[in-house]
C-alpha cells in the first residue's frame, strides 16, 4: 500500500512532481484563461457596482489561496517538526513567496476595487488589516529563512515561527474584529448557503478559483523542485571539495 510518506523521498517526489507539474500548470492555465475571459467579457455588469465587480475573479481566489498557502506551510512545518522530512521543509519554504504574492494581489486588487466603490484606497477594516498583518508574517518568515545559513536550523526555526505565528495570526484576526467595525462585505463564499452569488458570476468564479488553486500547486511543485536541485548541487560541490 503506497503511503503519502513515500514522497518524503526526494527522488520519488521529483519523479512524481515532474509528472504532475505539466498537468497542474496546464489545467491552471486553461482554467485561468477560460475563467478570466468568461468573467471579464461575457458576464453582465452588476447593477450597483458596474464593471468593477469583475475584479472579484482575481481578488477572491487570490485571497483564498493566500490563506490556504499559510495553512499549507503550517502543515508542512508540522510534518518537518514531527517527522523531519526534508522535502516537507523545502515545500514550506517554496510556498512562502507564492503565498506572499497572493496576499499582495488580494490587497492591491482590493484597493483598486475600493477606490471607486468605497471612495478610499485603504480602510482600517478588520479584513484588510488582517491581510496586511498576514503579509507581514510572510515577510518575517521569508526573512528568517534568508538569514540563517545552516539549512536544518533554518527549517527548524522557521517551523517554530510558523506554528507560533499561526496562533497569533488567529488571535489578531479576532482582535481586529473587536477593534474596529468593518466596511468589507461578508464572506463571498460559504458552504452553508444555497446560492452565494448569482449564477452568471458564480460559474466563472469557480473556474478561476480552481485555476488559482492549480496555479498554486504548480508553482509550489516547481519551486520545491528547484530547492531540491539547489540542495543537491550544494551537496555535489561539497563532495568535490572533499575529494
Applying CB under 8 A, the residues found at the interface with other proteins are 133, 136-137, 139-140, 143-144, 147-148, 153, 156-157, 160-161, 163-165, 168-169, 171-172, 175-176, 178-179
| 167/191 with CB nearer other proteins | 167
Give me 49's grid cell.
457596482
Nearest distance from C-beta of residue 103 to other proteins, angstroms:
13
Cell 510556498 locates to 95
Which SS3 state, helix, strand or coil, does residue 46 take?
Answer: strand
CB 201 within 8 A of CB 43: yes
Nearest distance from C-beta of residue 89 to other proteins, angstroms:
13
CB 140 within 8 A of CB 158: no
Nearest distance from C-beta of residue 122 to other proteins, angstroms:
17
Nearest distance from C-beta of residue 120 to other proteins, angstroms:
21
Give me 71's grid cell.
495553512
Q: What are phi and psi of 50, to 5 degrees?
A: 65, -145
| 121/168 with CB nearer other proteins | 168
| 154/197 with CB nearer other proteins | 154
Nearest distance from C-beta of residue 160 to other proteins, angstroms:
5
Considering Cα of 25, then 29, then 35, then 39, what sign does the dihedral take? positive
**CA dist., res. 151 & res. 97, Å (int):** 17
Beta bridge partners of 46: 50
| 138/216 with CB nearer other proteins | 138
| 7/141 with CB nearer other proteins | 141
Amino acid at each position: 500500500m503506497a503511503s503519502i510518506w513515500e514522497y518524503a523521498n526526494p527522488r520519488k517526489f521529483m519523479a512524481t512532481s515532474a509528472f504532475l507539474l505539466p498537468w497542474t500548470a496546464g489545467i491552471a492555465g486553461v482554467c485561468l484563461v477560460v475563467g478570466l475571459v468568461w468573467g471579464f467579457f461575457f458576464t453582465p455588469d452588476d447593477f450597483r457596482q458596474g464593471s468593477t465587480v469583475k475584479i472579484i475573479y482575481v481578488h477572491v481566489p487570490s485571497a483564498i489561496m493566500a490563506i490556504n498557502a499559510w495553512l499549507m506551510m503550517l502543515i508542512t512545518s508540522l510534518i518537518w517538526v514531527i517527522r523531519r522530512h526534508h522535502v516537507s521543509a523545502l515545500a514550506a519554504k517554496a510556498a512562502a513567496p507564492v503565498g506572499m504574492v497572493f496576499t499582495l494581489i488580494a490587497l492591491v486588487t482590493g484597493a483598486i476595487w475600493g477606490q471607486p466603490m468605497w471612495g478610499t484606497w485603504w480602510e482600517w477594516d478588520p479584513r484588510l488589516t488582517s491581510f496586511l498583518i498576514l503579509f507581514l508574517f510572510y515577510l518575517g518568515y521569508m526573512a528568517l529563512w534568508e538569514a540563517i545559513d545552516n539549512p536544518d536550523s533554518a527549517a527548524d526555526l522557521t517551523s517554530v515561527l510558523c506554528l507560533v505565528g499561526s496562533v497569533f495570526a488567529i488571535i489578531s484576526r479576532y482582535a481586529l474584529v473587536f477593534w474596529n467595525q468593518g466596511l468589507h462585505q461578508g464572506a463571498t463564499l460559504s458552504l452553508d448557503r444555497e446560492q452565494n452569488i448569482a449564477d452568471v458570476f458564480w460559474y466563472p468564479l469557480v473556474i478561476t478559483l480552481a485555476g488559482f488553486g492549480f496555479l498554486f500547486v504548480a508553482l509550489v511543485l516547481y519551486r520545491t523542485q528547484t530547492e531540491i536541485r539547489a540542495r543537491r548541487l550544494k551537496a555535489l560541490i561539497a563532495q568535490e571539495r572533499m575529494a
